[in-house]
Chains A and B, each alone.
Chain A
Amino acid sequence: MSRYLERAEHIARVMGVQLNLMLEQDPQSSDRRWMRLLASLGHPGPLTPGADLFTLAQQYTSRQITGGITAARENARHVREQISSEMWEQVNRLFHEVKRMESSGFATTQPIDFLGFIVENAIQFQGVTDSTMNHGEGWQFIQLGRFIERSSATARLLDLFFREFSRPQGQPADSGEHMEWVGLLRSCTAFEAYCKVYTADLRPDRVAEFLLLNNEFPHSVRFACDQVQQSLEAIHQLASTKRTASVAKLAGRMRAGLIFTPLEEIVAGLADFCAEIQKQCARIHTGLYEVFITYPIEAALQA
């Protein structure tokens, strides 16, 4: 549930930023940018330059967003008695509104408002969750979903960015490229936060460091990873079975990688580093599922 909403929020934000950038860009880079965006949001491809990528992106993201919200609501319904009524009403209302906006054409005629609405409501859902639900096991699982998705999505975005602009040191080449970096930061709601730390002096290695390693910024990979580990720790203590230890190890390993790998090393192989993070997120997800949801009865009876 929280994972689907986090994804819908991310897609809406990335798309919203892109639509904004598109207003003042040089037409040649447009194709490349759309292709990068689609790939970063998991479009299975193949993508050919010259096709109507804008329409494709619009259709794809709107399908993904609606799909994500529908799935989040469906999941919420399955755990209806575990979550608070306020949470349910928030996600249920969001679902009905999105359906309405789609059928009335609002989603395509006013895309920026539509995407803003999604982001705003997804964030509201987090607020409602944090303030109306017991911060017990169920909440910790919500946290896990949210932050696994977040680390994976941020890592993917960085991955594709640095594959394209593989010249991390030094200043951006031109104002066009400058805009790309602003776009990347904004896609992670990180622009203002970055400026507070490094001023508006945009340098790719700093951007990478900020989005990967900053431990105070809630959309950085490091921050999300810390949260994942904290939640796993809390669940481990609540559930008190030995089986949870294996997942905790996976999260610990990912976190250690972020803390102890020297920055130069990360920057030198940044795309690969980000790809590895995505793999680790997927492994944690699978591990969680096996340990907590589909465990065999024999294992539980022994414990």
Chain B
Amino acid sequence: MAAPAFDEHHFASDPLLNYRLDGAFDEMFAAEARPRKHYRGLYELLLRLPVEEMRRKKQAADLSFLHQGITFTVYGREEGTERIFPHDLLPRIVTSAEWEAIERGLTQRITALNLFLKDIYNEGRCLSDGIVPREMIFSCKHFRRQMRGVGVAKNTYVSVMGTDLIRLPDGRFVVLEDNLRVPSGVSYMLTSRQVMKRIFPELFRNAGVRSIDHYPEALLTTLRALAPGGREDPNIVLLTPGVYNSAYFEHTYLARHMGIELVEGRDLVVHDNIVYMRTTGGLRRVDVIYRRVDDDFIDPLAFRADSTLGVPGLFNAYRAGNISLANALGTGVADDKALYAYVPRLIKYFLGEDPILDNVETYILTDPVERKHVLDRLHEYVVKAVGESGGYGMLIGPHSTAEQREEFRKRIEADPRNYIAQPTLLLSRAPCYIDGRLEPRHVDLRPYILCGDQVTIVPGGLTRVAMRSGSLVVNSSQGGGSKDTWVMY
């Protein structure tokens, strides 16, 4: 392919005119005006497309999200107004070599985490061998003592994992955190691809983008593998907290694409430790529940008594081995942010391998030496509450005020187990289409890992974007957006 002609005149009116590189790794550009090889196609298209055409495409994409109902409700006015989730038009591209390493690293990680969960809820070898301090496990609010000795189908505690990867300035992908409870966002990965194919057919043609459409089927296969006693043709349902849950769109999306029933707690009943769902034709036995309800709320008899979302008696049926849950209960202990620091050691301990994907350096604040080190330099570190997710309970040192730092210092001193600290990392950036121009924004990457009879990772993931200029927070609850993620052949 001949190099495209970059004539000066065209470039002067170019949407990339004000695009400057900085210390962060840029996904698209190796240097000013020099796109990386796998971004060539996109780059040429951006130079060619008239501004009007881009604007039209952006509008068409927005409308498509609105009509599909991929929205959230903003309250505060007289009645709720619906907004679409922010998304960006330009894809984030990952090469096949990069992907291959990510895939191996995540497979290794989920395998080790499943062995770890089986261990702590049974023999506890890694505790007696001193790999993880006992008090770290037992003080975790997501540790479920009810799960001690409970058999889990195929010993697969985590069957759906969403791991957040970030890219450091040197180009390495590292793991920022694991989500092992009820990770969400996969429907945005799937729908944004569908929208992109409609909006940018010219970009996909001959580009060699790997398909992600088989995710629902892979998820179904994973869930089938968990059927208790290997029952044939198991009845699988998706348990949702209901229509007001912010991920309800995703629940309906997955149920539809897998062809399974979507149920709420009140649609299920337990009789003699067997779980049934109410249908118009009477009761029907259920074998596997893909639950999108947190542990705490799943059974008011076993966990929080005030939960109205759960199914009374479900835990007994589970303990009796009559039903499988995906994910298993009590997996939250392994995505505790303090335990995260031990994952490389766990990989080594359970698999005898070195981790393929590194962790971010993490300070455990119960350790007096590490705590002092961090408290003396709070303005340099990111402090996170261990049990929180979604970007809540976080202090970003360099962007914080003295007041905020003082508040966190007090909180850490009062309850050091509840916090960890990490150096402030410069997430990689990618160009985003914002108000008619291309501007760099920081991104991360969340692939979805499935584990049933085997580990399956659909080539792609959710690229989350910090939509505010300079911001490092990509969580959707904090105004983050998303991008389509392309893994190339």
Residues of A within 8 A of B (CB): 74, 77-78, 80-81, 85, 88-89, 92-93, 96, 137, 141, 235, 238-241, 292-293, 295, 297, 300-301, 303
Interfacial chain B residues near A74, Cβ < 8 Å: 243
Give chain A nearest CB distance to B321 CB in angstroms: 22
Interfacial chain B residues near A93, Cβ < 8 Å: 67
Cβ < 8 Å to A, chain B residues 245-300: 248-249, 251-252, 255-256, 261-262, 269, 271, 278, 280-283
Chain A, Cβ-Cβ closest to B238 = A81
Q: Indicate whether B66 reaches chain A with its CB closer than 8 angstroms.
A: yes
Interfacial chain B residues near A301, Cβ < 8 Å: 271, 283
Q: Indicate whether B69 reaches chain A with its CB closer than 8 angstroms.
A: yes
Give chain B nearest CB distance to A291 CB in angstroms: 8
**The one of A96, A238, A293, A297 that contacts B281, using a Cβ cutoff of 8 Å:** A238
CB <8 Å contact, B280 and A297 = no
Q: Indicate whether B206 reaches chain A with its CB closer than 8 angstroms.
A: no
CB <8 Å contact, B67 and A89 = yes
For the A-B complex, the count of residue pairs with Cβ-Cβ distances under 8 Å equals 55
Known: A81-B262, A89-B67. A303 touches B282 (CB 8 A): yes
**The one of A80, A239, A303 that contacts B280, using a Cβ cutoff of 8 Å:** A239
Q: Indicate whether B13 reaches chain A with its CB closer than 8 angstroms.
A: no
Interfacial chain B residues near A293, Cβ < 8 Å: 280
Give chain A nearest CB distance to B69 CB in angstroms: 5
CB <8 Å contact, A300 and B68 = no
Chain A, Cβ-Cβ closest to B257 = A81
Give chain A nearest CB distance to B123 CB in angstroms: 40
Chain B, Cβ-Cβ closest to A97 = B67
CB <8 Å contact, A85 and B243 = no
CB <8 Å contact, A240 and B283 = no
Interfacial chain A residues near B271, Cβ < 8 Å: 297, 301
Docked complex Cα distance between A78 and B68 (Å):
15
CB <8 Å contact, A88 and B69 = yes
Docked complex Cα distance between A226 and B317 (Å):
45
Interfacial chain B residues near A96, Cβ < 8 Å: 66-67, 82
Give chain B nearest CB distance to A136 CB in angstroms: 11
Residues of B within 8 A of A (CB): 66-69, 82, 243, 248-249, 251-252, 255-256, 261-262, 269, 271, 278, 280-283
Interfacial chain A residues near B269, Cβ < 8 Å: 297
CB <8 Å contact, B69 and A78 = no
**The one of B66, B255, B283 that contacts A300, using a Cβ cutoff of 8 Å:** B283
Interfacial chain A residues near B82, Cβ < 8 Å: 96
Docked complex Cα distance between A301 and B278 (Å):
10
Docked complex Cα distance between A96 and B252 (Å):
20
Docked complex Cα distance between A96 and B83 (Å):
11
Known: A93-B67, A96-B66. A80 touches B283 (CB 8 A): no
Interfacial chain A residues near B278, Cβ < 8 Å: 295, 297, 300
Give chain A nearest CB distance to B307 CB in angstroms: 20
Interfacial chain B residues near A300, Cβ < 8 Å: 278, 282-283
Interfacial chain B residues near A238, Cβ < 8 Å: 281
Give chain A nearest CB distance to B314 CB in angstroms: 15
Give chain B nearest CB distance to A303 CB in angstroms: 5
Chain B, Cβ-Cβ closest to A73 = B69
Docked complex Cα distance between A137 and B279 (Å):
11
Docked complex Cα distance between A244 and B189 (Å):
43
* Of listed B248, B252, B271, residue having the most chain A CB within 10 A: B252
Apart from A77-B252, A241-B281, A295-B278, what 9 extra A-B contacts exist at CB < 8 Å?
Answer: A74-B243, A81-B262, A89-B68, A92-B69, A238-B281, A297-B271, A297-B278, A300-B282, A301-B283
Chain A, Cβ-Cβ closest to B281 = A239
Interfacial chain A residues near B249, Cβ < 8 Å: 80
CB <8 Å contact, A92 and B281 = no
Give chain B nearest CB distance to A286 CB in angstroms: 16
Interfacial chain B residues near A241, Cβ < 8 Å: 281-282
CB <8 Å contact, B283 and A297 = yes
Docked complex Cα distance between A137 and B281 (Å):
10
Docked complex Cα distance between A221 and B243 (Å):
35
CB <8 Å contact, B255 and A81 = yes
Task: List the 3 closest pairs (A to B, CB-CB), nearest first.
Answer: A80-B252, A239-B281, A81-B255
Interfacial chain B residues near A92, Cβ < 8 Å: 67-69
Interfacial chain A residues near B243, Cβ < 8 Å: 74, 77-78
Contact sample, A vs B, 12 pairs, CB 8 Å cutoff:
A74-B243, A80-B248, A80-B249, A80-B252, A80-B262, A81-B252, A88-B68, A92-B68, A93-B67, A239-B282, A241-B281, A300-B283
Docked complex Cα distance between A89 and B249 (Å):
13
